[in-house]
Amino acid sequence: MKFKNSLLLLCLGLSLFTCVQPVDLEVPNRDDGMVVAANLTTVKGLQEVRLTRLARYDTRALNYPVSAAQVWVVDGSGQRQNYIEDAKNRGWYFPASREFVGEVGKTYVLHILTSDNRKYESSPETVRPIAPIKRVYPEPVAVDDPKLGNAIIGYNILLDTEDSPNKGDYYRWSWIHYEQLVYCRQFEGVPYTGGPETLVGLTCCDPCWDIVRCYRNCSNVLSDALINGKKITRQPITNVAYCARDYYIEIQQRVISREAYNYWKAVDQLSSNNGSLFDTAPAAIRGNIKCISNPEEEAFGLFEASAISENGFFIERTQSAVPAIVTCPPNPVTANPLICAACVESAFRTKIKPKFWTK
């Protein structure tokens, strides 16, 4: 009996080894395509063009910046606006005139000439008129808690606006959250007043805000095909956790072209799928850019020209008679009131007061 059991175990072990076969996945080798991310808006300071080339899928590198290119935009009347590469960020280009903005009713084409004489061009993009954001408001999200009963855990941020009577309008919304800081540095330590080790912090030397942006499933777009000329109500923007303080958010509303709408829908579908072995591999998406010096060369990305309606809103999160479950991080205790920490400028923190901040 022992011999039979040993033989059975040996066979099972060998079968496990023989079942393991290396999987050779065939991955597209696109390592030469131009990727364009370009915005032209009606708001000063939001005009930019970013140029990169695709990195191979089997590398850990990000896309490679395309430097030393000639970049310009031409409107329907032939007026040209040149762009200049940023001295600190390779592959980023901004208008030579910082006063340059898009104008409603005008059509624009983006042109790119690289240092190796490759020429790229966008499809014409027309800036369409846009209605203002009418209302932004929170909707409580509640759950049944065994101790509190019906309790709030957060809020959905919703928006109302008005669609124009013109057919074929497409909308895109984006947002950015600024959180004013008390402490610019946090760490585990002993409070100034003594006691056990806990989360402590150094207060900010100057006014300072953390910056939070959307990084996943952010392609919030809508077609007016079913609502033409009517109100757009309860459009979801984002959701926020419950905290015993107000929440400040800046929202941008754009009217975009059909090509841009289709592009962002594809981006959303791709980012939604990106999560398991069998999902679509990350890749650049074709938009309205083409290589005119070599039609066989693949080009990706988007030149988007749009009017913008934007504003800032304070969302009250404490004006409810319903119990709430706090899900925000705990506040630190002051480490030393005689020492402050600097507000270091970065993509995630700023000393510059938000545009619509009123407090």
* Whether the model pTM is above 0.85: no
The per-residue pLDDT for 157 is 96
Task: State the amino acid at position 63 in one-letter form.
Answer: N
Judge whether 22 lies within some domain.
no
The per-residue pLDDT for 16 is 40
Q: Using CA atoms, how far apart are residues 161 and 231, in angstroms rounded to an integer? A: 6
Per-residue DSSP letter, 247: E
Judge whether 174 lies within some domain.
yes
Q: Using CA atoms, how far apart are residues 215 and 265, in angstroms rounded to an integer? A: 15
* Enclosing domain of residue 97: 34-350
The angle at the Cα of 273, spanning 271 to 275, to the nearest 5 degrees, equals 95
Which pLDDT tens digit goes with each residue over 249-266? Answer: 999 999 999 999 999 999
* Best CA proximity match to 323, nearest among 158, 156, 147: 147
Judge whether 7 lies within some domain.
no
Judge whether 102 lies within some domain.
yes
Tell me the pLDDT band of 117, cut-offs 50, 70 and 90.
very high
Cβ contacts of 18 within 8 Å, gap of 6 or more: none
Judge whether 117 lies within some domain.
yes
Judge whether 54 lies within some domain.
yes
Between β-strands 107-113 and 80-85, what pairing exists: parallel, antiparallel or unpaired? unpaired
How many domains does the chain fold into? 1
Q: What share of the chain is helix, strand, coil (3-state, %, to 5)?
A: 10, 45, 50
The per-residue pLDDT for 279 is 41
Instruction: Tell me what the mean pLDDT of segment 140-150 comes to.
Output: 91
As beta bridge partners, residue 53 has 34, 64
Q: Using CA atoms, how far apart are residues 344 and 197, in angstroms rounded to an integer? A: 26
Query: How far from each other are the two terminal CA atoms of the chain, in whole angstroms?
Result: 82
Which pLDDT tens digit goes with each residue over 221-246? Answer: 999 988 888 899 999 999 999 988 88
Judge whether 357 lies within some domain.
no
Judge whether 5 lies within some domain.
no
As beta bridge partners, residue 255 has 171, 307
The per-residue pLDDT for 281 is 42
